[in-house]
């Protein structure tokens, strides 16, 4: 069995909650309300992934699959500087795959080339009602990502936007609907629920994970990425 690599989120509290960081060999899913920090964590991981393992990094490259157009190269610059890395070199090691969800079929072709990369970030927003074709393509893609994670000791982090209800709760998905959320939930080993806390604070709760207690951690979003 391959040795798990744990990559820092940038927040010590969040790392501790996760038993050290975002792990290889599995899919970690972050879901939760808009602006809760899911994408900012993805940007931070783009950088921390490239840190040496002695600095809680993965010494690896990144593939960022962006179906929502949320990747901001300019955000990488201050995050890289915070970790003492050269922003240009860091950006060179982030392979961007911009895809509209309807083009998931093309993503599968890209996925064949991902095995060189250590970490895969998937920024995916799934419509609540999927047609069968899309549903099948999504399931295939997630199955492929799981295999890549296991075979090449890669970490997969994916975000899943869910709609916040007016009462402040979160609709995970309607169990009666064949929602994409179900496909994602099924594929992920670790499911994290993000929400806004007081002021600039953000909260991450372990929603479902085989080896982690269901606790919470508080973190902040800063110019330099996720922090305590």
* Total number of residues shown for the chain: 228
Which DSSP symbol is given to 113? T
CB of 34 to ligand ADP, least distance (A): 5
Judged by CB, which is closer to ligand ADP: 148, or 219?
219
Paired tokens of 132: 């069968």
Figure out which of the listed residues 2, 35, 147, 186 binds ligand ADP, where binding follows CB under 6 A.
35
The CB density around residue 112, as the number of other CB atoms within 10 Å, is 9
- Is residue 67 at the binding interface for ligand ADP, with CB under 6 A as the rule? no
- Is residue 34 at the binding interface for ligand ADP, with CB under 6 A as the rule? yes
* Separation of CA 218 from chain center: 18
- Is residue 73 at the binding interface for ligand ADP, with CB under 6 A as the rule? no
Q: Residues in contact with ligand ADP, total (CB under 6 A)?
A: 12
CB of 153 to ligand ADP, least distance (A): 26
CB of 201 to ligand ADP, least distance (A): 11
Q: Can you tell me the distance from the alpha carbon of 118 to that of 24, in angstroms, rounded to the nearest whole number?
A: 8
Figure out which of the listed residues 39, 50, 67, 99 binds ligand ADP, where binding follows CB under 6 A.
39
Judged by CB, which is closer to ligand ADP: 5, or 120?
120
Q: Can you tell me the distance from the alpha carbon of 119 to that of 29, in angstroms, rounded to the nearest whole number?
A: 14
Q: Judge residue 149's burial from the number of C-beta atoms within 10 Å of its C-beta, 0-12 exposed, 13-18 middle, 19 or more buried.
A: buried
Sites of contact with ligand ADP (CB under 6 A): 34-40, 159, 194, 221-223
């Amino acid at each position: 069995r391959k040795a798990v690599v744990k990559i820092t989120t940038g927040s010590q509290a969040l790392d501790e909650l996760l038993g050290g960081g975002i792990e290889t060999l599995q899919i970690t899913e972050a879901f939760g309300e808009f602006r809760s920090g899911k994408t900012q964590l993805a940007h931070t991981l783009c950088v921390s992934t490239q840190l040496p393992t002695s600095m809680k990094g993965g010494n690896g490259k990144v593939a960022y699959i962006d179906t929502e157009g949320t990747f901001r190269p300019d955000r990488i610059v201050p995050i890289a500087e915070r970790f003492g890395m050269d922003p240009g070199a860091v950006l060179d090691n982030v392979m961007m795959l911009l895809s509209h969800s309807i083009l998931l079929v093309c993503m599968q072709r890209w996925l064949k080339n991902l095995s060189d990369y250590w970490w895969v970030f998937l920024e995916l927003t799934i419509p609540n009602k999927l047609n069968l074709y899309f549903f099948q393509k999504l399931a295939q893609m997630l199955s492929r990502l799981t295999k890549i994670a296991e075979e090449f000791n890669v970490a997969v982090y994916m975000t899943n936007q869910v709609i916040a209800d007016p009462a402040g709760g979160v609709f995970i998905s309607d169990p009666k609907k064949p929602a994409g959320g179900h496909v994602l939930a099924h594929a992920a080993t670790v499911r994290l629920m993000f929400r806004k806390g007081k002021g600039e604070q953000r909260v991450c709760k372990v929603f479902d994970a085989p080896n982690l207690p269901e606790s919470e951690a508080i973190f902040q979003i800063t110019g330099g990425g996720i922090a305590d």
